[in-house]
């Protein structure tokens, strides 16, 4: 090799011959079959690790988003409760709160426990008395009516119930449902339960089993009479335009109420639930990161074996004028190629599964004849997946970084190999 070529080999970073040798080392040959098997398992490990991380993070994000949307779609972002005296002035208070900038709805409600029954079954429910206009403004209810309608909800004695409750009681829109409240009329013999039949005017389906099974909506005036409220309400459910800015609304709502009130926001009402979700999400991320780490360690072991096997090749290259940097880059490319390709394939597989996760769940349920995602257990009627660009990018960068770091020591060891010693023991 002449001086010009020798100088070129020494100085040119990532020269064509480095790529050529790296590709050659990655090809499976009979002699290096075991090394190729290790490389294959490393590739599969990184691919599965990245894909699993992306899928699990997307599903956890989907759970949080769906549950948050459904919980906040039915319950107010701020619950205004009375202090010192009952909310008999609820009309004026609700009107003042609704005029605060950023408040979408202020709905007075009467809540009470009752037993819903039919000739075929019975179930405990939460009865919520609410005005017809306010109920129509709850899009999670108004846009998910499956039977009947909310027209004339305030007229007569009609109620709206959830789809799962209707199925459990074997009822449909137009049928009659009987509600039994423990505290009814006061008689000389004591307090007797109040038993009253109501016509079902609408059946809704939010998609969250707990609400579809446990909620019954009743006109506000009828609920006040049914639960013996003296023209007062239990609380006022306040819905804002941005639940994440709830702290900014608390002071304005308190001032607008114009009377002593106690405020509870959605974070306080559901803190245990969402904190548990966050902890579970973080733990799952750490556990699944171990898959990628193990795959990266497989790259280390595979490259070390490759360096040992190619000792004579390295020695010949060095005697022909290849620099230590060239040798190091050859093995860097070899190891990093496994990590990069595995990460990219895992990224694609993860995205494809996330975008079709509900169809995959239904297919697996059909294939195994089992219910893989029970609504009673997971609260939701379908498996959600919400891909977060920032998290997905972090997963890809983490996998690429681990793959690159895994190649450094074997590549450095190859570059430091003494040609004389390597050829002597060959």
pLDDT for residue 216: 92
User: Residue for token digits 């190859």?
Assistant: 414
Quick one: DSSP state of residue 189?
A: T
Q: Please write the tens of the pLDDT for every residue from 172-228.
A: 988 899 999 887 666 666 667 788 899 999 999 887 778 888 899 999 888 888 888
Task: Record the tokens describing residue 221, joined without a space.
Answer: 């005036």
Q: Please write the tens of the pLDDT for every residue from 263-308.
A: 888 888 877 877 887 788 788 888 888 888 887 887 787 777 777 7
pLDDT for residue 230: 78
Spatial separation of the C-alpha atoms in residues 304 and 417, rounded to whole Å: 12
Q: Which of 83, 106, 98, 78 is nearest to 259 (CA)?
A: 83
Q: Compute how many other C-beta atoms are within 10 angstroms of the C-beta atom of residue 141.
A: 23
Spatial separation of the C-alpha atoms in residues 358 and 354, rounded to whole Å: 8
Q: 235 - beta bridge partners?
A: 109
Domain ranges of the chain: 16-68+274-424, 85-259
Contacts of 197 (CB under 8 A, 6+ apart): 176, 177, 178, 179
Mean pLDDT by 10-residue block, N- to C-terminus, for the chain (426 residues)?
A: 43 61 60 61 84 88 79 84 85 89 89 90 90 87 87 78 91 90 68 84 85 90 86 89 84 86 85 80 82 80 73 68 72 80 90 86 78 60 79 87 83 71 54
Q: Compute how many other C-beta atoms are within 10 angstroms of the C-beta atom of residue 126.
A: 13
pLDDT for residue 21: 65
Task: Record the tokens describing residue 60, joined without a space.
Answer: 């956890």
pLDDT for residue 70: 76
pLDDT for residue 8: 41
CA 144, distance to chain mean position in Å, is 22
């Amino acid at each position: 090799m002449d001086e010009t070529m020798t100088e070129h080999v020494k100085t040119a970073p990532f020269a064509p011959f480095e790529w050529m040798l790296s590709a050659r080392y990655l090809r499976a040959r009979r002699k290096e079959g075991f090394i190729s098997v290790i490389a294959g398992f490393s590739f599969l490990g990184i691919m599965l690790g990245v894909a699993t991380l992306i899928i699990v993070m997307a599903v956890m994000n989907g759970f949080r988003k769906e549950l948050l949307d459904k919980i906040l779609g039915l319950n107010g972002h701020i619950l205004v409760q009375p202090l010192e005296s009952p909310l008999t002035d609820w009309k004026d208070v609700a009107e003042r709160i609704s005029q605060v900038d950023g408040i979408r709805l202020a709905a007075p409600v009467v809540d009470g426990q009752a037993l819903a029954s039919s000739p075929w079954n019975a179930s405990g429910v939460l009865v919520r008395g609410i005005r017809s206009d306010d109920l129509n403004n709850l899009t999670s209810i108004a846009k998910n009516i499956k039977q009947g309608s909310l027209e004339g909800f305030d007229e007569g004695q009609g109620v709206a119930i959830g789809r799962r409750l209707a199925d459990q009681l074997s009822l449909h829109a137009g049928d009659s449902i009987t509600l039994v409240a423990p505290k009814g009329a006061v008689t000389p013999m004591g307090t007797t339960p109040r038993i009253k039949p109501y016509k079902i005017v609408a059946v809704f389906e939010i998609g969250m089993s707990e609400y579809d099974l446990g909620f019954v909506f009743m006109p506000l005036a009828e609920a006040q009479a049914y639960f013996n409220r003296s023209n007062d309400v239990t609380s006022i459910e306040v819905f804002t335009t941005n639940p994440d800015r709830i702290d900014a609304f608390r002071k304005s709502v308190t001032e607008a109420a114009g009377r002593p009130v106690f405020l509870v926001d959605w974070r306080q009402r559901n803190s245990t639930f969402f904190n548990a979700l966050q902890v579970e999400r973080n733990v799952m991320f750490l556990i699944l990161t171990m898959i990628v780490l193990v795959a990266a360690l497989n790259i280390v072991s595979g490259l070390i074996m490759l360096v040992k096997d190619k000792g004579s090749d390295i020695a010949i290259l060095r005697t022909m004028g290849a620099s230590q940097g060239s040798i190091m880059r050859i093995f860097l490319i070899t190891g990093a190629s496994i990590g990069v390709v595995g990460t990219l394939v895992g990224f694609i597989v993860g995205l494809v599964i996330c975008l079709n996760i509900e169809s995959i769940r239904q297919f697996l349920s059909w294939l195994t004849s089992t219910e893989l995602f029970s609504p009673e257990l997971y609260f939701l009627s379908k498996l959600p997946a919400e891909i977060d660009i920032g998290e997905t990018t972090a997963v890809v960068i983490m996998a690429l970084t681990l793959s690159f770091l895994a190649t450094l020591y074997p590549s450095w060891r190859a570059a430091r190999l003494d040609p004389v010693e390597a050829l002597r023991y060959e």
